[in-house]
Structure 1
Amino acid sequence: MRVCSFLVASFLASAPLAAQACGTALVLTIDVSNSIDTAEYRLQTDGLADALQDPEIVEVMVQGEATLAVVQWSGVDKQSLSIPWTQIRTTLDAARLSRQARQMQRAFVLSDTAPAEAIYFSLSLFDAVAHCNRHVIDISGDGTPNAGADTRAARNAAQRAGVTINGIAIESMGLAITNFYRGAVITRDGFVMTARTHREYPETIRAKILRELSRIFG
């Protein structure tokens, strides 16, 4: 099943982008597993869209010549490249990407939670942006795995490939998801941020993208 995911990802990613300056290639992933209801899905997509039109983030994306893609994920064979690689050279590019995120239709419903497959799928997309200086995967979710491969093995594969994984843990109570992300999802050079319920996700994703692209917090 993992091989199938790689083949699908390679097909959807299409041909490599023309070689040009690129600071960070960032895959933003959205959890659409069974635990995410319609309102929570909309909080994620609207939160992402709002972040992508935030003036401070737009400035960082343009100055850093960032390239972004958006992936929806849930079960073992359910990963979708919803927005292909898009380089942000101007404010118009950022506005277009924000609109695409806001209008994005949900890819899957009633499916399991398999973050390892989301990582493997995202890793396969970087062949198209090999010229970028940094490769980063942003994994967000509100649950621990109930399907799929070992998440630590996927995280280790990312580390070997020189890819950073950061995370947003969406909690309902306590820090169980945060602790799982810290121990099994993020890479040694990565970080995890906590959203206390889905309603905190919009502000958290804004802070997270800013940190990923500017590294102003070290």
Structure 2
Amino acid sequence: MRFLFSCLIMLFFAGSPAWALVSVDLELVLAADISFSVDEEEAKRQREGYLAALRSQEVIDAILSGPEGAIATSYVEWADDNTQRMVADWTLIRNEADALAFADRVRAAPFVQGRYTAIGSAITACVGMINDNEYDGFRKIIDISGDGPQNQGKSLPIARALAAASDITVNGLPVLPMDRNPWRPKVKVDVDQYYRDNVIVGAAAFVAPAEGFEDFKDAILKKLILEIAWIPGLSHPATRAAP
């Protein structure tokens, strides 16, 4: 009898997760390009744009708009095939204090520049970060920003298929070149169209271009509100109107 009881206990725990996942309205990876085409001043503007958005009342209101009133987010800086650095790990944000604390952690992290632009590798790494975290989001989004096309790394079609297979949407914030940084591609590339054709994937995926890094702050604010806000009829199947 004791042996049978022990077996039942083992079966119970073997079939149960080590911990319960935390339900959130959205799992969101903020993935920022730090390749050589993004100089230190531009990288600073990129970070400051994300930070200003996270501190804004509009984004905080969007976070609170869903049924759970919470999102989980992380901040990643990426460049070449082996450079995807978790600047701020997964954080549960359910109020203004949480958002400000997360923004402060991002701001305090040192900037380490990469070299090449491996968008496919960044997406692949971010998919793993979402799949391995402790949250269960109704929606899952990778928000990837960058100023040029891929020139190294894992296949973009394979990376996009990997995201789609995990029900993860990839949205893009291409930064349109407004100056002549010598590290930017010599061949003119329509970065906006490149992101539309080669980067974004998933339900309602979209591109929100910024007119140079000077415009990044405004562009990311609008983009985050669109991504985070709970919209009846779009954000949850139970709220969709009947045809």
Q: CA deviation at 1:45?
A: 0.7
Computed over aligned residues only, the root mean square deviation of the Cα atoms, in angstroms, reads: 2.0
Name the structure 2 match of 1:4. none
Name the structure 1 match of 2:41. 39
Q: Are residue 176 (structure 1) and residue 190 (structure 2) matched? A: yes
Name the structure 2 match of 1:74. 79
Name the structure 2 match of 1:59. 61
Q: CA deviation at 1:188?
A: 3.8
Preserved CA contact (<8 Å) 2:31 2:76: yes
Q: Which structure has the bigger radius of gyration?
A: 2
Match of 2:124 among 107, 120, 133: 120
Name the structure 1 match of 2:213. 198
State the TM-score, normalizing by the size of structure 2: 0.78
Name the structure 2 match of 1:104. 109
Consecutive unaligned residues of structure 1, counting only runs of 5 or more, are 1-15
Name the structure 2 match of 1:13. none
Preserved CA contact (<8 Å) 2:142 2:170: yes
Structure 1 runs of 4+ with >2 Å offset: 16-21, 101-104, 215-218
Preserved CA contact (<8 Å) 2:22 2:135: no
Q: CA deviation at 1:215?
A: 5.3
Q: CA deviation at 1:130?
A: 4.8
Give the partner amino acid of 1:115.
I
Deviates more, 1:194-203 or 1:150-159: 150-159
Name the structure 2 match of 1:95. 100
Preserved CA contact (<8 Å) 1:31 1:73: yes
Aligned mates of 1:202, 1:146 — CA distance in 2:
26
Query: Of Structure 1 and Structure 2, which has the larger fraction of its residues in helix?
Result: 1
Q: Are residue 136 (structure 1) and residue 135 (structure 2) matched? A: no
Preserved CA contact (<8 Å) 1:30 1:44: yes
Preserved CA contact (<8 Å) 1:78 1:108: no
Change in 2 beyond 3 A, CA 1:144/1:175: closer
Q: CA deviation at 1:102?
A: 2.3
Q: CA deviation at 1:17?
A: 7.9
Match of 1:212 among 227, 230, 240: 227
Change in 2 beyond 3 A, CA 1:171/1:216: farther
State the TM-score, normalizing by the size of structure 1: 0.86
Q: Are residue 187 (structure 1) and residue 201 (structure 2) matched? A: yes
Consecutive unaligned residues of structure 2, counting only runs of 5 or more, are 1-17, 179-187, 235-243
Name the structure 2 match of 1:6. none
Aligned mates of 1:188, 1:132 — CA distance in 2:
15
Give the partner amino acid of 1:195.
A
Preserved CA contact (<8 Å) 2:22 2:134: no
Secondary structure at the residue paired with 1:80? strand
